[in-house]
């Protein structure tokens, strides 16, 4: 049999006589025989059903030497199986043992391969468990970070009702807080809400019902924190006109309103409008938007304001408007 390594450009002869193996077929057959005839667990590692011809020749020589050595070794005389019976029976036992030895090698090969497969599978499972543990720890760490980030974000976009981030300007003696809620502002002297839900509420009134229960020019300042955006049937002009009515000349209207750039502004289903930093500049004669639009849009009202401050407070917008006499 020719077992010389074939060149990359060698082509098998399609006209080869039937029953005659080509080089490629002979190599494959020899590799298969070596696999099943060799020792169950070779010293150099797991046996393969492949190999180049030169390697197969070497392995075949090693196997042949092993088989010759096995045949020359005397069978164990102290084995009870070989001691029983007469000489002919013992000879038959030894002959059958030597004849069946290649077959037992094949069963040993199957057992060894199954055992090796089990070992490799166990190793893979152990590595997978380690990866799962590491992944679980990473996920827990990510969850902790996300929870911390969520708490920080919630604190930023859902601020307390008290306006504490920016100091309030001087407000005067009579300070009305609209929609005081559960945390009335300490600077206010009159606390309003829609209903009297605690002894800290001084006046209960629906702000969509006009006029409000305060006389003209009766308060020095109005504080409305997160209030106006919740009034469904009150437009901006009506809201400003009523605040203008009850304020003294030069009185201050302090508001915090949802910013149009804050996604959370649209999350609350009770929000009916959002605002821009220049939303109230239409009522300020010192602003270009008044000259271009405001003095035409709101001419009939003729109640104007000075925008003293408009800035970010938390993620919302803070406005300080001064009543123009």
What are the tens digits of pLDDT across the range 107-159? 555 555 666 666 677 778 888 888 888 888 888 888 888 877 766 655 454 44
Q: How far is CA 280 from CA 34, 65, 168, 175, 253, in A?
A: 92, 102, 19, 22, 12
With respect to residue 64, please indicate whether it lies within any of the assigned structural domains. no
CATH number, domain of 224, equals: 3.40.50.150
How high does pLDDT run on average in the chain? 77
88-102, 149-163, 230-244: which is most confident: 230-244
Q: What angle do CA 2, 4, 40 make, to 5 degrees?
A: 85
With respect to residue 102, please indicate whether it lies within any of the assigned structural domains. no
Residue 145 has a pLDDT of: 83
Kindly tell me if the per-residue pLDDT of 192 is higher than 70. Answer: yes
Nearest to 110 by CA among 3, 38, 209, 36: 36
Residue 147 has a pLDDT of: 78
SS3 content of the chain, % helix, strand, coil (to 5): 45, 15, 40
| Contact by Cβ (8 Å): 169, 320 | yes
Residue 307 has a pLDDT of: 97
With respect to residue 6, please indicate whether it lies within any of the assigned structural domains. no
The count of domains in the chain is 1
Token pair for 260: 């149009």
Nearest to 160 by CA among 178, 181, 145: 181
Question: 323: how many CB neighbours lie within 10 A of its CB?
Answer: 23
Residue 11 has a pLDDT of: 41
- Across the range 157-181, mean pLDDT stands at 73
| Contact by Cβ (8 Å): 217, 248 | yes
Taking only the tens place, the pLDDT of each residue in 21-58 is 455 666 666 565 555 555 544 444 444 545 566 666 67
With respect to residue 87, please indicate whether it lies within any of the assigned structural domains. no
Q: Is 248 helix (H, G, I), strand (E, B) or coil?
A: strand
Residue 128 has a pLDDT of: 86
With respect to residue 213, please indicate whether it lies within any of the assigned structural domains. yes
Residue 8 has a pLDDT of: 40
Kindly tell me if the per-residue pLDDT of 75 is higher than 60. Answer: no
With respect to residue 163, please indicate whether it lies within any of the assigned structural domains. no
Residue 26 has a pLDDT of: 60
Domain that holds residue 219: 175-323
With respect to residue 66, please indicate whether it lies within any of the assigned structural domains. no
With respect to residue 285, please indicate whether it lies within any of the assigned structural domains. yes
Kindly tell me if the per-residue pLDDT of 160 is higher than 50. Answer: no
Structural element, H or E, at residue 66: helix 53-72
């Amino acid at each position: 049999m020719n077992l010389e390594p074939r060149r990359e450009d060698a082509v098998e002869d399609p006209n080869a006589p039937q029953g005659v193996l080509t080089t490629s077929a002979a190599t494959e057959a020899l590799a298969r025989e070596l696999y099943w005839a060799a020792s169950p667990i070779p010293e150099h590692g797991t046996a393969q059903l492949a190999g180049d011809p030169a390697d197969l020749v070497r392995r075949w020589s090693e196997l042949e030497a092993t088989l010759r050595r096995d045949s020359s070794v005397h069978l164990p005389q102290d084995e009870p199986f070989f001691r029983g019976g007469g000489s002919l029976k013992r000879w038959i036992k030894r002959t059958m043992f030597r004849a069946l030895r290649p077959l037992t090698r094949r069963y040993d090969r199957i057992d060894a391969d199954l055992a090796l497969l089990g070992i490799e599978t166990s190793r893979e499972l152990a590595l997978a468990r380690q990866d799962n543990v590491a992944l679980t720890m990473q996920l827990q760490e990510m969850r902790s970070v996300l929870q911390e980030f969520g708490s920080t974000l919630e604190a930023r976009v859902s601020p307390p009702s008290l306006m504490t981030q920016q100091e309030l300007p001087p407000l005067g003696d009579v300070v009305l807080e609209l929609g005081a809620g559960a945390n009335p502002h300490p600077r206010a002297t009159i606390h309003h809400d829609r209903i009297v839900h605690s002894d800290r509420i001084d006046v209960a009134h629906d702000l969509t019902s006009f006029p409000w229960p305060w006389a003209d020019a009766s308060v020095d300042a109005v504080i409305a924190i997160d209030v106006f955006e919740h009034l469904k049937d009150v437009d901006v002009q009506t809201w400003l006109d009523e605040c203008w009515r009850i304020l003294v000349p030069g009185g201050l209207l302090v508001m915090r309103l949802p910013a149009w750039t804050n996604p959370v502004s649209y999350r609350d289903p009770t929000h009916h409008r959002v605002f821009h930093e220049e939303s109230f500049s239409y009522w300020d004669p010192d602003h270009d938007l008044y000259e271009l639009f405001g003095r035409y849009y709101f001419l009939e009202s003729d109640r104007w304001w000075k925008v003293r401050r408009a800035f970010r407070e938390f993620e919302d917008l803070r406005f300080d408007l001064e009543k123009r006499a």
